[in-house]
């Protein structure tokens, strides 16, 4: 399992709710955390590992030693968002080395299930709120390039073209399997 890069079609798919907390889901959760840490991320959504499921891994400080900052969220939803908007820089593990300013609500209230099937709720601010919004967007096939302002989008044009070229080259060389059926 590896992190897929733009423009892999999995990133544009709307993910399906997780209906059963099976052993496969536990294994997927572990692999997602592993990959997130390996790439120094603070969040990773299942569509980024080509699994169209509503499931995300987060570590708010990106530090594998700080387990209290780590969580797996199943079927997360934002139930409230603040009117206050923050404009800040962010990146995405599916767009290596591309960063841009994105405007997002400063505070969100989130509901999700943990791996034990317990319903959890929390209010998050600033970077934590940004991580939730970015990851939940992934579950709906929405990417941060969709939310950049015109300046950010113009600045990213060349990088996006390079991602597209690399992707089609890998596909031509047979490095990207065409079958995207999830193995569950």
Is there binding between residue 15 and Zn ion (CB under 5 A)? no
DSSP secondary structure letters along 85-124: EEEEEEE-TTSTT-EEEEEEESEEEEEEE-TTS-EEEEEE
CB 22, min distance to Zn ion, A? 25
Q: Mention every residue, 6+ apart, whose C-beta is less than 8 A from residue 147.
A: 102, 103, 104, 137
CA atoms within 13 A on the CB side of 88: 16
Q: What is the smallest separation between the CB atom of 20 and Zn ion, expressed in angstroms?
A: 26
Answer yes or no: are the C-beta atoms of 152 and 102 closer than 8 Å: yes
| C-beta of 91 vs 105, nearer to Zn ion | 91
Instruction: Select from 28, 92, 131, 136 the one that contacts Zn ion (CB under 5 A).
Output: 92
CB nearer Zn ion, residue 21 or residue 31 = 31
Question: Among this protein's residues, is 125 annotated catalytic?
Answer: no
Looking only at residues 42 through 81 of this chain, which bind Zn ion when binding is defined by CB under 5 A? none
Reduce the DSSP state of residue 78 to 3 states and report it. Answer: strand
> Phi and psi for 112 in degrees, rounded to 5?
-160, 170
| Segment interacting with Zn ion (CB under 5 A) among 64-72, 87-95, 100-108, 165-173 | 87-95
Nearer to Zn ion, 35 or 92 (CB): 92
Nearer to Zn ion, 21 or 34 (CB): 34
List 135, 162, 169, 175, catalytic entry: 135
Contact criterion met (CB below 8 Å) for 56 and 134: no
Binding site for Zn ion (CB under 5 A): 92
Residues annotated as catalytic are 135
């Amino acid at each position: 399992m590896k992190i897929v890069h733009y423009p892999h079609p999995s990133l544009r798919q709307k993910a399906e709710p997780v209906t059963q907390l099976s052993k496969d889901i536990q294994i997927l959760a572990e692999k997602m955390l592993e990959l997130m840490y390996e790439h120094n991320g603070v969040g990773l959504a299942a569509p980024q590992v080509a699994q169209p499921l509503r499931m995300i891994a987060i570590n708010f400080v990106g530090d594998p030693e700080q387990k209290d900052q780590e969580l797996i969220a199943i079927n997360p939803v934002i139930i409230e968002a603040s009117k206050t908007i923050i404009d800040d820089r962010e990146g995405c593990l599916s767009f290596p080395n591309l960063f841009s300013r994105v405007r997002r609500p400063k505070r969100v209230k989130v509901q999700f299930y943990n791996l034990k099937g317990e319903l959890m709720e929390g209010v998050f601010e600033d970077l934590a709120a940004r991580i939730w919004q970015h990851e939940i967007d992934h579950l709906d096939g929405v990417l941060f390039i969709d939310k950049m302002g015109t300046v950010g989008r113009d600045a990213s044009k060349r990088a996006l073209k390079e991602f597209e070229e690399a992707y089609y080259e890998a596909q031509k060389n047979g490095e990207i399997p065409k079958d995207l059926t999830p193995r569950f």
